[in-house]
Amino acid sequence: MFGAEAGGSRPTAGPPSDEPAPDLIITLRSIVRSAAEQVSGHYAVLAADLPGDGGMYLVTCGLPEEADPHEWCALEGTGNLLDSAEVFRVDDLAQLRARHGLPPLTSALTTLIGAPIRLDEQLYGYLYVANKRCSGTFTSEDEEPVLAMATAAAAAIENARLLSLEHRRQQWLEASLEMTRVLLSDDERSRASGVAVRLLQDVAAADFAALVLVVDNTSTSEGAIAIDAVSGIDAGRLLGASERLQGLSARVAATGERVISPNITEEPGFDPPAGAVKAMSMLGPAMYLPLTAAGEVLGLLIIGWLRGASPDHVAPTEVGLAEMIAGQVALALHQLQAREMVTDDRDRIAHDLDETTVARLVAIDAHLADTVKMISEPGARDRVNAAIDGLHEANQQLRAAITTLQRRRPPDEDRGRGEGAP
Please tell me the predicted confidence (pLDDT) of residue 31.
95
Q: Is the predicted pLDDT of residue 219 greater than 60, yes or no? A: no
Rounded CA-CA distance 99/368 in Å is 116
Three-class SS state of 393: helix
Which whole number is the average pLDDT over 176-189? 80
Encode 312-324: b = buried (16+ Cβ within 10 Å), e = exposed.
Answer: ebbeeebbebbbe
Whether residue 117 contacts residue 98, with contact meaning beta carbons closer than 8 Å, is answered with no
Which whole number is the average pLDDT over 36-52? 87
Angle at 209 between CA 208 and CA 211, to 5 degrees: 150
Confidence band for 35, pLDDT divided at 50, 70 and 90: very high
Name which of 171-175, 355-359, 372-376 the model is least confident about. 355-359
Compute CA distances 5 → 24, 64, 248, 265, whole Å.
17, 8, 48, 40
Q: Is the predicted pLDDT of residue 421 greater than 50, yes or no? A: no
Please tell me the predicted confidence (pLDDT) of residue 415.
41
Which whole number is the average pLDDT over 26-54? 87
Q: How high does pLDDT run on average in the chain? A: 79
Q: Is the predicted pLDDT of residue 416 greater than 50, yes or no? A: no
User: 264 Cβ partners below 8 Å, 6+ apart?
Assistant: 248, 270, 280, 283, 284, 285, 286, 304
| 219-227 contacts, C-beta under 8 A, 24 or more apart | 222/246, 223/250, 223/253, 225/249, 225/253, 225/273, 225/299, 226/417, 227/276, 227/417, 227/418
pLDDT digits (tens, 9 = 90+) for 284-329: 999 999 999 888 899 999 999 999 998 888 989 899 999 989 988 8
DSSP state letter for 357: I
Whether residue 82 contacts residue 90, with contact meaning beta carbons closer than 8 Å, is answered with yes
Confidence band for 107, pLDDT divided at 50, 70 and 90: low
Confidence band for 5, pLDDT divided at 50, 70 and 90: very low
pLDDT digits (tens, 9 = 90+) for 114-157: 899 998 888 888 899 988 988 788 999 999 999 999 999 999 99
- Hey, how many other C-beta atoms are within 10 angstroms of the C-beta on 199? 19
Percent of the chain at pLDDT exceeding 70: 77
Name which of 128-132, 148-152, 183-187, 337-341 the model is least confident about. 337-341
pLDDT, greater one: 41 or 11: 41
Helix (H) or strand (E) holding 296: strand 296-306
Rounded CA-CA distance 168/174 in Å is 10
Please tell me the predicted confidence (pLDDT) of residue 241.
78
Rounded CA-CA distance 176/255 in Å is 24
DSSP state letter for 124: E
Confidence band for 206, pLDDT divided at 50, 70 and 90: very high
The side-by-side arrangement of strands in the sheet containing 242-244 is 242-244, 224-232, 208-216, 296-306, 283-293, 259-261
- Nearest Cα neighbor of 127 from 180, 217, 197, 59 is 59
Separation of CA 77 from chain center = 35
Which whole number is the average pLDDT over 229-252? 86
Q: Which of 18-27, 259-268, 311-320, 410-419 ranks highest by mean pLDDT? A: 259-268
CA gyration radius, the chain: 35
Which whole number is the average pLDDT over 88-102? 78
Whether residue 231 contacts residue 421, with contact meaning beta carbons closer than 8 Å, is answered with yes
Whether residue 331 contacts residue 239, with contact meaning beta carbons closer than 8 Å, is answered with no
Amino acid at 75: L
For every residue of 223-272, DSSP letters joined together read -EEEEEEEEETTHHHHTT-EEE--HHHHHHHHH---EEESSGGGSTT---
Name which of 328-332, 362-366, 414-418 the model is least confident about. 414-418
Which whole number is the average pLDDT over 266-283? 89
Please tell me the predicted confidence (pLDDT) of residue 78.
56
